[in-house]
Structure 1
Amino acid sequence: MAQSPRAVVVGGGIGGLTAAVALHRRGWRVTVLERAGSLEPVGAGISLAPNSLRALDVIGLGDEIRDLAAWQGDGGLRTPGGRWLSRTSTAALAERFGGPLVLLHRATLIKSLAAQLPEGTVRTTAEAALADPGDDDRPARVSTPDGELEAELVVGADGIRSAVRLELFPDHPGPVYSGFTTWRVVIPVPGADFASHETWGRGRIWGTHPLKDGRVYAYAAARVPAGGRATDDERAELVRLFGDWHDPIPGVIGAARPEDVLRHDVHHIAEPLPAFHAGRVALIGDAAHAMPPTLGQGGNQAIEDAIVLAHHAGPRTAPLDAGLAAYTAARKPRTTAIARKAVQVARLNMMRSRPGMVLRNAAVAAVSKAGPGLFLRSFDGIADWRPPQAPYASEETRVSTP
């Protein structure tokens, strides 16, 4: 009996693990190579929209993650003084897109994904490099400190600074600075009781959201030069930038320790890659289409990539070269459009011009008063996406539209 084909996934983040689980379920023998010493992610929270939850349905995890939804009631956009620009309810979102928005810690999702893989699938402290992308006549080869691995498929899920991408497309300019940096914390906040919200100021934004486990996920962003760092600590920098904004922002900052605050410059791929595959190698997530976080779709699109890749690269479907071409054809137009929209939204919510801010805020408030459906319409074509195979567990609980 012929052995199942082998896949090597370079990178053990959310996209890489989702790809590993999806490929394993399609009959591939999978090895995940993660250069870090553990799968504990460097990061904080992640927002999963109905599109990625339906993708997770394909590998049996959608409802497990939906059960972690903590956002109930209203939320929306505010000004630094506390005035609500728009209100959006969880019910309206679920009705329009067929499911909830789930905010959770990245570590929770990583743990759930890793639990779906056979023991020994994931190798940590495993620095990997693409030695040969392979072709129709030879397997791809990946070099590791323990020797080379051959595979019928290699998945480059190694993030925004992807070495696999650089090997495939050495002439591509790579990621560029998006013009702002972010801070993130996931912490307990005693006595916290507030609606999920994002607040837009002048060249700065803040978001605060409760998690199901009782902690609070908060993020901030500001237009600052790349490579900067606070002269004291990043918590003190948050006090300087956001300490006089509306409640509960000062209290959240006050509950954080300096070591709780993560700071990262934001980069994105401004020039789309010519393809998301070459030879026997496919790129997913930030390695293929890194985007600003302003739509909350970076991780969601990585999950979509993984499911679509496994669908087209199934060992008993079309030849791999045709499957990878179909993967690029399915994913490149969608992710390019979403990435461009994320850049446009960043220009809007990180605006510095005072006259522009006045017009922006007035427009947001007017749209919100006209009805929540108008505001949610900006996610049409994004959050309503469905994977290329059924069933979708979310269909059984979809809120019906009158």
Structure 2
Amino acid sequence: MEEILIVGAGIAGLATSLGLHRLGIRSLVLESANALRAEGYALALWPNAWKALDAIGIGDDLRRQHKQLVSLVTTSVVSGLTTAELLFGGDHEVRRVDRKVLIETLKNELPGGTIRYSSKLVHIEESGYFKLVHLADGTVIKTKVLIGCDGVNSKVAEYLGLKKPSLAGRASIRGHVEFEDGHGLGQKFLQFFGNGSRYGVTPCDDHGVYWFFTYIPSPADRGIEEEPVKMKKFVSSKLGNIPDKIRDVFERTDLNNMVWSQLKFRHPWDLLWGYISKDNICVVGDALHPMTPDIGQGGCSALEDAVVLARNLADALTWKSSVGMQKGGEEVEHRMIEIGLKKYARERRWRSMKLVSAAYVVGFVQQSDGILLSFLRDKVFAKFLVGILFKMSKFECGKLEDS
């Protein structure tokens, strides 16, 4: 028996558990792997993410380990010219954060025993006011609240009736490289686009550099994901007109430090009409709003979700413990949990729809190689597209406790 069960020990799951922990509420996090999955390279954390990290109490710890970026620069790989540069100033805090550091920081703030490893969800069953969660090892856990943070292919989202994410028609290759003597790139978020591809290069610290490359797969390059040598050669052939120091980032990346993936997203209308929460179940992070990476808000929005959910669920449980159990027992408790999750869903529905839509549109425009759209993008839309990134990151998720 567990009061609150969270499926998935990624960013969303650990942040949700930590938010609840800060409010004095225990949860159990189920992780299908036999150890913490801290793989991956780095992610851009925009102002909205830092506000969420401050709310759960780990913002300053991460700031000490990652330098603040000073600007975002976009460049056409066709002309080689800068199309836009926007400075990060004032309260617009952007840093490229090592995913492993973020995951381990979240985990280390949780009480021992919070995460149960080798715990793969296979089936969810109704049991009165509870849910029975069946695991692959035969264990059955009875819970009052079930929170799905189990990623793009979420079993919890499937149980809620949300449609499976759709393929975006693009693929992504991500990599990381360490420069022993320093990379010399400064602290700028560099983005490049044109010729049907879109990629970015960003320093994590004085030595580490993260890069991503997205493209539209064609029959000619099918299968490169299975052969790192061909993958690296393919990326190098698509870089276009760029400075040698940028090209060197890709050339010096070790074959073992690259990963390929298909880009998926959830259609906005599925978020509009689908269940984000139902009864005593809800979804968070990629399980809720899988999106393309074009505005860098996947991890950021998962952190927002965690704060909003922890606050609303804690409010419901606090009210229940002070009043509800005296007047109706399990029925009232269940009803209050349902109301808390509905409030969370109401707060996150439109925000999720905006993020998914913005990411798709920005990626489509920036990656287009049509003559007219390429001209408009480079000459007219460049600053507008960059401005969308700023606009989407100006969001207040609030504190863990209502003031």
Could you tell me the TM-score, scaled by structure 1's length?
0.86
* Alignment partners' CA distance in 2, 1:70 and 1:82: 27
Kindly state the Cα deviation for residue 129 of structure 1 after the two structures are TM-superposed: 3.1
SS of 2:338's partner is: helix
**In the alignment, which of 329, 341, 356 is matched to residue 358 of structure 2?**
341
Letter in 1 for 2:356: A
* Alignment partners' CA distance in 1, 2:312 and 2:266: 24
Kindly state the Cα deviation for residue 233 of structure 1 after the two structures are TM-superposed: 3.5
1:383 aligns with 2:383: no
Give the direction of change, closer, same or farther, for the CA distance of 1:179–1:138 in structure 2 (3 Å limit). same
Residue by residue over 1:223-267, the C-alpha shift from the partner in whole angstroms, topping out at 9 and shown as x without a partner, is 115994315532222222227643333201121121111110101
SS of 2:179's partner is: coil
**In the alignment, which of 107, 110, 127 is matched to residue 100 of structure 2?**
107
Residue by residue over 1:313-355, the C-alpha shift from the partner in whole angstroms, topping out at 9 and shown as x without a partner, is 1120461111011111000111111111111111111112022
Give the direction of change, closer, same or farther, for the CA distance of 1:90–1:84 in structure 2 (3 Å limit). same
**Paired residue for 2:374?**
357
**Paired residue for 1:212?**
205
* Alignment partners' CA distance in 2, 1:330 and 1:187: 39
1:193 aligns with 2:184: yes
Letter in 2 for 1:44: Y
Which moves more between the two structures, 349-358 or 268-277? 268-277
* Alignment partners' CA distance in 2, 1:213 and 1:204: 27
**Paired residue for 1:153?**
145
Give the direction of change, closer, same or farther, for the CA distance of 1:340–1:375 in structure 2 (3 Å limit). closer
Kindly state the Cα deviation for residue 147 of structure 1 after the two structures are TM-superposed: 1.0
Letter in 2 for 1:35: S
* Alignment partners' CA distance in 2, 1:228 and 1:68: 39
* Alignment partners' CA distance in 2, 1:375 and 1:14: 27
SS of 1:76's partner is: strand
Give the direction of change, closer, same or farther, for the CA distance of 1:161–1:228 in structure 2 (3 Å limit). farther
Contact 1:201 1:350 in 2 (8 A): yes
* Alignment partners' CA distance in 2, 1:305 and 1:133: 25
Which moves more between the two structures, 80-89 or 299-308? 80-89
* Alignment partners' CA distance in 2, 1:242 and 1:391: 47
**In the alignment, which of 138, 141, 146 is matched to residue 129 of structure 2?**
138
* Alignment partners' CA distance in 2, 1:209 and 1:215: 9
SS of 1:51's partner is: helix
Alignment of 1:246-395 (within 5 A): 246-270=243-267, 271-273=269-271, 274-314=274-314, 315-317=317-319, 319-364=336-381, 367=383, 377-379=387-389, 382-389=392-399
Q: How many pairs were matched up?
A: 373
Letter in 2 for 1:268: F
* Alignment partners' CA distance in 2, 1:123 and 1:341: 36
* Alignment partners' CA distance in 2, 1:233 and 1:257: 13
Structure 2 unaligned residues grouped into runs of 5+? 321-335
Letter in 2 for 1:189: F
1:167 aligns with 2:165: no
* Alignment partners' CA distance in 2, 1:82 and 1:70: 27
* Alignment partners' CA distance in 2, 1:382 and 1:197: 18
Letter in 1 for 2:87: S
* Alignment partners' CA distance in 1, 2:150 and 2:70: 37
Give the direction of change, closer, same or farther, for the CA distance of 1:228–1:288 in structure 2 (3 Å limit). farther
Could you tell me the TM-score, scaled by structure 2's length?
0.86
Residue by residue over 1:352-386, the C-alpha shift from the partner in whole angstroms, topping out at 9 and shown as x without a partner, is 20221112100146x4xxxxxx7764246532211
RMSD, aligned α-carbons: 2.4
Alignment of 1:39-58 (within 5 A): 39-58=36-55
Letter in 1 for 2:148: G
Contact 1:133 1:281 in 2 (8 A): no
Work out the percentage of aligned pairs sharing the same amino acid: 24
* Alignment partners' CA distance in 2, 1:248 and 1:391: 47
Contact 1:311 1:388 in 2 (8 A): no
Structure 1 unaligned residues grouped into runs of 5+? 368-373, 393-402
Which moves more between the two structures, 74-83 or 317-326? 74-83
Kindly state the Cα deviation for residue 390 of structure 1 after the two structures are TM-superposed: 6.5
